[in-house]
Amino acid sequence: MAAVDLTTHPGHLARRLQQAHYLLWNTMVSEEITSPQFAVLNALVAEPGLDQRTVGERVGLDRSTIAEVVARLGRRGLLDKVRDPQDGRRFLLRLTGDGLRIHGRLALRTARMNQVFLAPLSAEEQARFFELIRRVSDAAEELRDPGQPLVPQP
């Protein structure tokens, strides 16, 4: 059997892309706050007072991952959980002053990191890249729906 050309495998290329992102994130943005943690901070800057489930949906994290990210950010004093006055079983999330300051600092760093990350592409290529990767990412999100079959039916 012949070797497979991994440059035609999206999972292989996505992993390589993730490795590059991880390296740039750790060197240019933060070694303490992870990219998913920043995404949660960012979601709460955009929409303060969301519940944990909704934040997870907004940033594409599953239930167990969002729970761990929220717990870590809470332990670091970057967000608070406040009981929802309309539904006592639900908690709403709000950034603390430290959380807002960290987000502001990291937002500037992520902008610089993205410039480096996307430098090999022209402005037009960057726009096309985002369009395509969003389309694939959105389709992949649908695979999480337990009611959806993993393989499209003919």
The pLDDT assigned to 139 comes to 87
Alpha carbons 21 and 6: distance in angstroms, whole number = 19
Residue 71 lies in a domain: yes
Considering the entire predicted model, what is its pTM? 0.86
Residue 101 lies in a domain: yes
The pLDDT assigned to 142 comes to 77
Evaluate whether 59 touches 43 at the Cβ level (below 8 Å).
yes
Number of structural domains in the chain: 1
The pLDDT assigned to 115 comes to 97
Residue 100 lies in a domain: yes
Residue 41 lies in a domain: yes
Residue 57 lies in a domain: yes
- Does the structure show a pLDDT above 70 at 146? no
For residue 33, give its domain range: 10-119
Question: For 83-133, what is each residue's pLDDT tens digit?
Answer: 988 888 888 999 999 999 999 999 999 999 999 999 999 999 999 999 999
What are the backbone angles phi and psi of residue 91, rounded to the nearest 5°? -115, 140
Residue 139 lies in a domain: no
Question: For 84-97, what is each residue's pLDDT tens digit?
Answer: 888 888 889 999 99
Indicate which CATH number applies to the domain containing 64: 1.10.10.10
- Does the structure show a pLDDT above 80 at 35? yes
Residue 50 lies in a domain: yes
Per DSSP, the residues of 99-140 read: HHHHHHHHHHHHHHHHHHHHTTS-HHHHHHHHHHHHHHHHHH
Confidence band of 140 (pLDDT split at 50, 70, 90): confident
The two structure tokens encoding residue 6: 């991994």
Residue 58 lies in a domain: yes
